[in-house]
């Protein structure tokens, strides 16, 4: 018996294979047992970012723990767009929105970047990870984006991996619209108020940085992240 499309999906950071047994986190157990009123024998779907998606059956459910037995693979692991999002952290609700929508749009990594005009310099990585995980479970992608610790813009540029284009979304700049990337790419979105002149000069000194526009309108930072990722994701076919 296969789970239905409405069966709960859970990310579990453990190997998945037929006959394997695993336990959920406390929060997942609460959601399954208390919120969804799951019971022994119910089917759920599991994924771990490596082994595809699997059907599993609840064998034990309590308020703080739910145990599952993996039964069969439903989907193999599929390739996803190799797109990153580097963004200046915003106020909490806006940062939450960026993490959620970037996950839905297929971002493989979220990189908080500290700039001269960054408003929120403290980032709750646990919260961001939780939001990204929940979004991945809901949108049926097979992985959860990697989330890095905040890094200052000069340090980010200085450690940038070779072969990956960094598309800098710039406002009020003479730059072409975002175009399709031919390989691994990332989108860089600055803070409210944009990059400083010194930061623009710094970006211009790196050959892997491509200046780009998101159109004639001045977008909020969180909107720019969503629009830019959507354009890159669509061009990547993800």
Distance in angstroms (rounded) separating the CA atoms of residues 106 and 233: 7
pLDDT at residue number 199: 95
Q: Are residues 123 and 216 in the same domain?
A: yes
**Residue-level pLDDT at 178:** 66
Whole-prediction pTM: 0.89
Residue 111: the pLDDT is 97
Give the closest residue to 202 by CA, choosing from 186, 190, 220, 216. Answer: 190
Q: What 3-state class would DSSP assign to 154?
A: helix
Enumerate residues 6+ apart whose C-beta is below 8 A from 212: 167, 168, 169, 170, 175, 176, 177, 178, 179, 228
In a domain, 4, yes or no: no
Q: Beta strand pairing status for 66-75 and 21-23?
A: antiparallel
Residues 176 and 123 in one domain: yes
Contact 178, 212 (CB under 8 A): yes
| Residues whose CB is less than 8 angstroms from the CB of residue 60 and which lie 6 or more positions away in sequence, other chains included | 40, 66, 67
In the numeric block, which tokens belong to residue 128? 């961001």
Q: Is 74 helix (H, G, I), strand (E, B) or coil?
A: strand
Q: Are strands 209-212 and 165-169 parallel, antiparallel or unpaired?
A: parallel
Contacts of residue 110, defined as CB under 8 A and 6 or more positions apart, other chains included, come to 84, 85, 87, 98, 99, 102, 128, 132, 145, 146, 147, 148
User: What are the φ/ψ torsions at residue 93 (nearest 5 degrees)?
Assistant: -60, -40
Residues 118 and 212 occupy one common structural domain:
yes
Asked whether residue 87 is assigned to any structural domain, the reply reads: yes
Q: Do 162 and 58 share a domain, yes or no?
A: no
Question: In this structure, what DSSP letter does residue 216 have?
Answer: S
SS3 213: strand
CATH number of 49's domain: 2.40.240.20
Which residues constitute the domain of residue 199? 83-236
* 108, 145 Cβ separation under 8 angstroms: yes
Do 94 and 186 fall within a single domain? yes
Q: Do both 70 and 87 map to the same domain?
A: no
The reported pLDDT for the residue numbered 154 is: 97
Same domain, 71 and 114: no
Q: Could you list the pLDDT tens digit for every one of the 238 residues in the chain?
A: 576 667 899 999 999 999 999 999 988 988 888 888 888 989 999 999 999 999 999 999 888 889 999 999 999 998 888 999 999 999 889 999 999 999 999 999 999 999 999 988 789 999 999 999 999 999 999 999 999 999 999 999 999 999 999 999 987 666 656 665 667 999 999 998 889 999 999 999 999 999 888 877 777 889 999 988 988 877 555 5
């Amino acid at each position: 018996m296969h789970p239905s499309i409405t069966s709960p999906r859970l990310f579990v950071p453990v190997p998945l294979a037929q006959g394997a047994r695993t336990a959920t986190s406390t929060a997942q157990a609460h959601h399954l047992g208390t919120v969804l009123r799951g019971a022994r024998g119910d089917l759920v779907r599991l994924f771990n970012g490596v082994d595809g998606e699997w059907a599993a059956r609840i064998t034990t459910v309590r308020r703080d723990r739910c145990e599952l037995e993996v039964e069969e693979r439903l989907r193999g692991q599929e390739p996803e767009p190799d797109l990153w999002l580097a963004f200046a952290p915003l106020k909490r609700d806006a940062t939450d929105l960026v993490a959620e929508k970037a996950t839905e749009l297929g971002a493989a990594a979220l990189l908080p970047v500290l700039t001269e005009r960054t408003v929120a310099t403290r980032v709750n990585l646990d919260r961001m990870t939780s939001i990204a995980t929940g979004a991945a479970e809901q949108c049926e992608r097979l992985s959860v984006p990697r989330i890095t610790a905040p890094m200052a813009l000069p340090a980010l540029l200085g450690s940038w991996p070779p072969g990956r284009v960094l598309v800098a979304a710039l406002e009020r700049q003479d730059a072409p619209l975002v175009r399709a990337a031919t390989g691994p790419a990332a989108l860089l979105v600055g803070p409210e108020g944009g990059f400083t002149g010194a930061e623009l000069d710094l970006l211009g000194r790196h050959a892997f940085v491509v200046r780009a526009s998101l159109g004639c309108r001045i977008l909020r930072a969180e909107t720019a992240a969503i629009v830019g990722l959507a354009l890159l994701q669509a061009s990547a076919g993800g």
